[in-house]
Amino acid sequence: MNENNSFRISEEKRRVLLIEDDIICQEMMKASIGDTYDVIVATSGEEATGIIRAQHDTLSMILLDLNLPGIKGIDVLKSIKSDPEFSHLPVIVMTSDNEAEVECLTLGAIDFIPKPYPASKVILARILRTVELSEDRETLRLTERDQLTGLYNKDFFFRYAAQLDLYHKDAPTDAIVFDVNHFHTINDRYGKAAGNEILKRIADNAIAYVSEAGGIVCRSGADTFMLYCRHIDDYEALLARLSANLDVEGSGENHVRLRMGVYLDADKSIDIERRFDRAKMAADTARDHLTAPVGFFDHSMREAEILEEQLIDDFSTAIREKQFVIYYQPKFNVKNDKPYLTSAEALVRWKHPKLGMVSPGTFIPLFEKNGLIQKLDYYVWSETACHIKDWKERLGVSLPVSVNVSRIDLYDPDLTEKFLQIAKTGGLDPQDLLLEITESAYTEKTDQIITTVKNLRDLGFRIEMDDFGSGYSSLSMLSTMPIDALKLDIQFIRSAFKGQKDTRLLEAMIGLAKSFEVPTIAEGVETDEQYSYLKAMGCDIIQGYYFSRPLPVDEFEKYIVLKLKSEDDLCLPLKN
Ligand code: C2E
Ligand code: CA
Ligand code: CA
């Protein structure tokens, strides 16, 4: 075969295989369609089969004469339609025998051209229509499926799920989401190919299930699957079935565990995507629970959902009416004998008119999910800049403050511009603003993020890596990272002093920070003991209830005035 034949460019003439032994018929057909199509001829079933096998991906359609020497035309049709590799090729049958039509149609022929041939125009129009139809179908087949697993993709899944509802209005139906626990660690440990293999096996298990029990399934994200099926009772059994045969090759044990969220007897009056959001919510309650890997959507989640809806609805008003307020928590440099106030962290709270004080733990993750965080953060940064300016002017105090920068902010192409503008409006120096960026922000789209952070740093803003130790940044990445301080994840302090004290990990983290020659910050420091240990281990800056809780701006003002008025006060932690 000519190598170029394997390429198919849409501008090229489409290729038609004409299976016809009669020379006159061959010539007539070529005369009719040869200007539009590249016609190749096979004069027997045997020859045709060889050509199809070798060149099927260059063929647009097949014209088949039923009356052939050797293998019968009808058997050629059967063999084309039974082979999954070329069964999608459209076949038009040519015959003078009206009786054969029905049989050929049931065998998968798409159309007929009667013999003797009709006018050229008619033949051409039929072939054109057939080719177009089948190409549309092929495009659809490719776009509606996930390439790796062959399952539907999410969009088509939702469409077909809605169709399923139409046909089974009253049947109780469950929306199920399942995924692989810690899939990234499987990829890390065994490689991407092994990860893909596992996803394929899960897909195969799911297909086997729906082909038996009904329903549809799709892969909706990297390792996340969705299943929409008739209500069942035994989810443990379903999970076991989906998890069958997933051992990583050669590891000898089954490392791969699935977890599942179920929205039982889903309410069909709500949007199909929303039903799966609920299943996802339920799945999140099952994370890491070895003993209870299946979570169910329940009343309390419904309440959480209602609260989330309310918070989203109220957001714009809250910004307009300045319901978001900023608290400040001091950070102390503890390198010398006497700790001194070196900066503060701005932490947002929502003074909600109906709900009272709402903590950021409730709304930050929600706003990170739906993008509102960008507006909120911008508001917090601007307000903070106003406060810094006010302290300078009114109190004669210049105190740098750190603000939290969310991962999503880092994708904003105008981010550096925004910070410059905020600093300019407040008459601030970039040094007055410290930017806390959580470690996990660096692990996705690393290059882009590092470039953004470098730009900010070049402009004079100082960068603190927040929650250090909670993400997955590699050591080599850390050494190239543009940062001015590492802020240990609060969990290290918690676990080091919980129950049986074990500060080895904490010490190792501080040592690691030292090797990068950047100062370490510990937050969440509450007790004398924690304070003394951290100081002894070489921690540079300390933040926590030990010095002060986060304070509303008026109280924080009094606090700094007090700190700065008396030299002696500087070394006395303000106990709450
Ligand atoms: P974070 O940035 O890690 O902030 C530290 C959290 O630890 C704060 O919780 C702080 O109040 C708390 N904390 C400080 N010292 C102690 C202590 O001694 N003991 C205990 N138990 N906790 C202490 P908070 O204010 O509830 O904020 C939670 C998280 O919300 C923050 O974690 C941050 O990720 C996020 N957040 C807060 N404000 C903003 C903001 O304006 N923008 C963004 N994007 N995120 C924010
Ligand atoms: Ca922070
Ligand atoms: Ca933190």
Please say which residue of 244, 274, 297 terminates a domain. 297
Q: 43 or 56, which is more confident? A: 43
Range(s) of the domain holding residue 37: 3-144
**Chain segment 214-249, per-residue pLDDT in tens:** 899 999 988 999 999 999 999 999 999 999 988 876
CA distance 398 to 144: 59
| 93 contacts: CB under 8 Å, gap ≥ 6 | 64, 66, 73, 77, 100, 101, 104, 109, 111, 112, 113
Q: Is residue 159 assigned to a domain?
A: yes
**Chain segment 178-208, per-residue pLDDT in tens:** 999 888 888 888 888 989 999 999 999 999 9
188 and 49 in a common domain: no
Computed from CA positions of residues 333, 334, 335, 341, in that sequence, does the dihedral angle turn out positive or negative?
Answer: positive
**Chain segment 426-446, per-residue pLDDT in tens:** 999 999 999 999 988 887 777
Contact 170, 191 (CB under 8 A): no
**Chain segment 457-481, per-residue pLDDT in tens:** 999 999 999 998 887 666 667 777 7
CA distance 542 to 151: 52
* CATH of residue 424: 3.20.20.450
CA distance 393 to 88: 77
Residue range 333-346: mean pLDDT, rounded: 95
DSSP reduced 3-state for 161: helix
Q: Is residue 458 assigned to a domain?
A: yes
Query: What phi and psi values does residue 518 have, to the nearest 5 degrees?
Result: -125, 150
**Chain segment 391-406, per-residue pLDDT in tens:** 999 999 999 999 999 9
CA distance 7 to 1: 12
Residue 10, judged by CB atoms within 10 A of its CB (0-12, 13-18, 19+), counts as exposed
388 and 520 in a common domain: yes
Ligand 1 pocket test, candidate residues 364, 486, 492, most atoms within 8 A of CB = 364
C-alpha 555 to ligand 1 mean position (Å): 18
Atom of ligand 1 nearest to the CA of 467: 3
The pLDDT of residue 448 is 86
Residue 124 has pLDDT above 70, yes or no: yes
The pLDDT of residue 394 is 94
CA distance 280 to 262: 8
The pLDDT of residue 252 is 56
The pLDDT of residue 184 is 84
Share of the chain above pLDDT 70, in %: 93
pTM above 0.85, yes or no: no
234 and 181 in a common domain: yes
| DSSP secondary structure of 125-151 | HHHHHHHHHHHHHHHHHHHTB-TTT--
| Top-ranked range on mean pLDDT: pick from 30-34, 135-139, 189-193 | 30-34
Please say which residue of 106, 124, 144 terminates a domain. 144
Q: Is residue 302 assigned to a domain?
A: no
Atom of ligand 1 nearest to the CA of 403: 41
Residue nearest to atom 45 of ligand 1 (CA): 404
* CATH of residue 83: 3.40.50.2300
359 lines ligand 1 (CB under 6 A): yes
DSSP reduced 3-state for 276: helix
Q: Is residue 566 assigned to a domain?
A: no
489 lines ligand 1 (CB under 6 A): no
Q: Is residue 318 assigned to a domain?
A: no
Of 44-53, 170-179, 314-323, 507-516, the one with minimum mean pLDDT is 507-516
* CATH of residue 190: 3.30.70.270
Please say which residue of 101, 117, 144 terminates a domain. 144
The pLDDT of residue 277 is 93
In single-letter form, the type of residue at position 526 comes to E
Residue nearest to atom 7 of ligand 1 (CA): 524
The pLDDT of residue 475 is 66
Of 102-116, 471-485, 536-550, the one with minimum mean pLDDT is 471-485
Q: 110 or 351, which is more confident? A: 351
Task: Return mean pLDDT, the chain.
Answer: 89
The pLDDT of residue 571 is 38
177 and 63 in a common domain: no
523 lines ligand 1 (CB under 6 A): yes
The pLDDT of residue 476 is 67
The pLDDT of residue 92 is 95
64 and 121 in a common domain: yes
Ligand 1 pocket test, candidate residues 347, 486, 547, most atoms within 8 A of CB = 347
The pLDDT of residue 446 is 76
| CA dist 553 → 45, 387, 390 (Å) | 88, 8, 11
Ligand 1 pocket test, candidate residues 490, 526, 530, most atoms within 8 A of CB = 490
112 and 231 in a common domain: no
195 and 138 in a common domain: no
Contact 402, 483 (CB under 8 A): no
Residue 11 has pLDDT above 50, yes or no: no
Q: 182 or 565, which is more confident? A: 182
Q: Is residue 59 assigned to a domain?
A: yes
| 140 contacts: CB under 8 Å, gap ≥ 6 | none
Contact 351, 314 (CB under 8 A): no
The pLDDT of residue 289 is 62
Q: Which ligand is nearest to the CA of 380?
A: 1
Q: Is residue 391 assigned to a domain?
A: yes
Q: Is residue 306 assigned to a domain?
A: no
**Chain segment 266-312, per-residue pLDDT in tens:** 999 999 999 999 999 999 888 666 778 999 999 898 898 899 999 99
174 and 140 in a common domain: no
C-alpha 359 to ligand 2 mean position (Å): 14
Token match 């069964």: residue?
A: 87
In single-letter form, the type of residue at position 455 comes to N
239 lines ligand 1 (CB under 6 A): no
C-alpha 466 to ligand 3 mean position (Å): 5
189 and 59 in a common domain: no
Token match 């049709």: residue?
A: 77
Contact 219, 200 (CB under 8 A): no
Residue 72 has pLDDT above 80, yes or no: yes
Contact 468, 443 (CB under 8 A): no
Share of the chain above pLDDT 90, in %: 63
| CA dist 368 → 172, 222, 409, 416, 530 (Å) | 34, 20, 9, 19, 32
How many domains, the chain?
3
507 and 457 in a common domain: yes
C-alpha 489 to ligand 3 mean position (Å): 5
Query: How sure is the predictor about 13, in pLDDT bands with cuts at 50, 70 and 90?
Result: confident
C-alpha 363 to ligand 2 mean position (Å): 15
162 and 135 in a common domain: no
Angle, alpha carbons 425-358-377 (nearest 5°): 25
501 and 389 in a common domain: yes
